[in-house]
Amino acid sequence: MNIIFGNFGNDTVALMQWSVTQQLTDLTMVSIDTGWAAPQWAERITQAKQWCMAHDVTWVRLTPKAQFVELMQTQKQFPSRKFQWCANFLKALPFLDWLDQTDIDPDAEATILLGRRREHGRSSNALPEMVEENEHFGDRRVWHPLFAHTQTQRDQLIVEAGFEVLPHRSLECDPCVNSDLNDVLRLDESVIERTTRLEQALGKQLLDTALYQGESTLAAALTHYTQQAYQAPEHDIFEMGCGMPFGCGI
């Protein structure tokens, strides 16, 4: 059983296309509904589902026991860049629970495909193509088929799949605790509003303190910045995060 685990960002879509081009069999696409996606992300998910149906790829969309807002309320705090516990609750646990079902993969024989590449950042420079027993996925085999692909090669796969090459990360969580100013400046107004409401409810800030300019909420902080056209960051904002093993942002 070959399972693509991703969020329909550029690298996941490229991996989907590569997998059918290589005629991999018994393919399943698994993604997570975090409850914190950007409003426009629903269109990307719909397109991905239609693509899977057209290519005979099994579609699985999982929902964690507690989605983002409920999880933050239960924990009474936000994760931080140093302690990104959100990925474990929102992605790892629901995915592993699904895998361990008796009719899915109780014997841990499936191969997990991730769209990570060496070009993502310094911490990915030595990314192996295959990890035979990965602790993050119940000692299952993890495969990075695109580990050596360049961005140009990746983008060609995306075009072949019929998707838009996005100028930003996957928006399955928006904003993300890893978001930098460049990422924040392209946020939808409704996203800023919901983030501010949650910050006020918890009495805490979601993002890096340095972004707030002394203000208490994201909405207030953004008044200090000049809005500008979004450009993808030169660095990978997930490079040092514990969400990396689970494909956050891709």
Report pLDDT for 232.
55
**Which CATH number goes with the domain that contains 139?**
3.40.50.620
The share of the chain scoring above pLDDT 70, in percent, equals 92
Give residue-wise pLDDT tens across range 214-237.
999 999 999 988 765 555 554 566
Q: Which whole number is the average pLDDT over 124-136?
A: 88
Residue matched to tokens 């296309």: 17
Average pLDDT of the residues of the chain: 91
Is position 111 within any domain?
A: yes
pLDDT score of 242 more than 70: no
Is 52:58 a contact under the CB 8 Å cutoff?
Answer: yes
Q: Which tokens go with 4?
A: 């693509």
Mean pLDDT of 81-87: 84
Tell me whether residue 62 is in a domain.
yes
Residues 6 or more apart whose Cβ sits within 8 Å of residue 103: none
Confidence of residue 80 (pLDDT cuts 50, 70, 90): confident
88 near 71, Cβ under 8 Å?
Answer: no
Q: What is the pLDDT of residues 138-172, one digit of tens each?
A: 999 999 999 999 999 999 999 999 999 999 999 99
How many angstroms separate the CA atoms of 222 and 109, rounded? 48
For residue 138, is it within any domain?
yes
The structural domain count of the chain equals: 1
pLDDT score for 104: 93
Residue 204: is its pLDDT beyond 90?
Answer: yes
The answer to whether the pTM exceeds 0.85 is yes
Q: Which residue has the higher pLDDT, 246 or 66?
A: 66
Judge whether residue 106 has pLDDT over 60.
yes
* 120 lies in some domain: yes
Nearest residue to 205 via CA among 218, 189, 194: 218
**What integer pLDDT is reported at residue 64 of this predicted model?**
96
Range of 241's domain? 2-170+233-246
Q: 18 in a domain, yes or no?
A: yes
- Is 200 domain-assigned? no
Dist. CA 190–CA 112, nearest whole Å: 35
165 within some domain: yes
Residue 218 lies in a domain: no
- What pLDDT sits at residue 236? 66
* β-sheet with 130-134: strand ranges across: 58-62, 27-32, 2-5, 111-113, 140-143, 130-134
